[in-house]
Amino acid sequence: MTRLSVNINKIATLRNSRGGKIPSVKEATIKCQKFGAQGITVHPRPDERHITRHDVYEIKPLITTEFNIEGYPSDDFLKMVIEVKPDQVTLVPDHHNQLTSDHGWDTWKNLSFLKDVISALRENKIRSSIFVDPDVLAVEGAAEIKTDRIELYTEPYATLYPIERHKAIEPFIEAAKAAKRLNIEVNAGHDLSLENLNYLYNHIPNLAEVSIGHALIADALYMGLETTIKKYLDCLK
């Protein structure tokens, strides 16, 4: 079964635009799980423009499914996740002021650094996932690092999907095959939507989890959160 983890960053973005506590990140955490989401994802950035460190600590007791925290493995980030102990940490190579993730790790270039990070997470019984481009060489580097999972960066797939879906999915199939051969579980995320999710799901049989935020929260503005989550879950059948 492919699990749906809802990224609630955009809930926090809306709250922060006005200040105060509306909409509530805590309430969103509870409701997403109640409506069927099998995980909650957050990406606390250094500038705290959406999810804050305080949010991370506040919602941890509310997680009844799985908690996935994304971020660049700075000393401050690692200190936080080791204190919070989520189920999974997804490591991304984002710059300090980057708007959104737009590439995966060069796993070979960062081999030693990422090995040390993964080792620290493993010592604290936290599952690790490394954000990578759909590239077999990058997947092989991830295996050398001994990560538990990779997360395939799916923006290139989402961009090409409306034009030539068969070509769009090809590198992702090859990367997923390499991960299976190397005994690494596969997650996917970035720009996945109701339009393109089912096709990805049907072509990557070893897909463990998808993390979806921007499109899902945008859809919820029109359809409501409960209906939207059910529609995304339907795409994973």
* Catalytic residue set: 43, 70, 190
Helix (H) or strand (E) segment spanning residue 40: strand 39-42
Give the whole-angstrom CA distance, residue 219 versus residue 52. Answer: 24
Are the beta carbons of 49 and 13 closer than 8 angstroms?
Answer: yes
Query: Among 104, 111, 114, 117, which residue's Cα sits nearest to residue 175?
Result: 104
Give the whole-angstrom CA distance, residue 102 versus residue 105. Answer: 10
Q: And the tokens for 87?
A: 């189920």
Judging by beta carbons within 10 Å of its beta carbon (0-12, 13-18, 19+), is residue 47 exposed, middle or buried? Answer: exposed
Exposure class string for 100-136: b at 16+ Cβ within 10 A, else e: ebeebbbbeebeeebeebbebbeeeebbbbbbbbbbe
Task: Map tokens 């980030």 to a residue.
Answer: 77
Exposure class string for 202-226: b at 16+ Cβ within 10 A, else e: ebbeebbbbbbbbbbbebbeeeebe
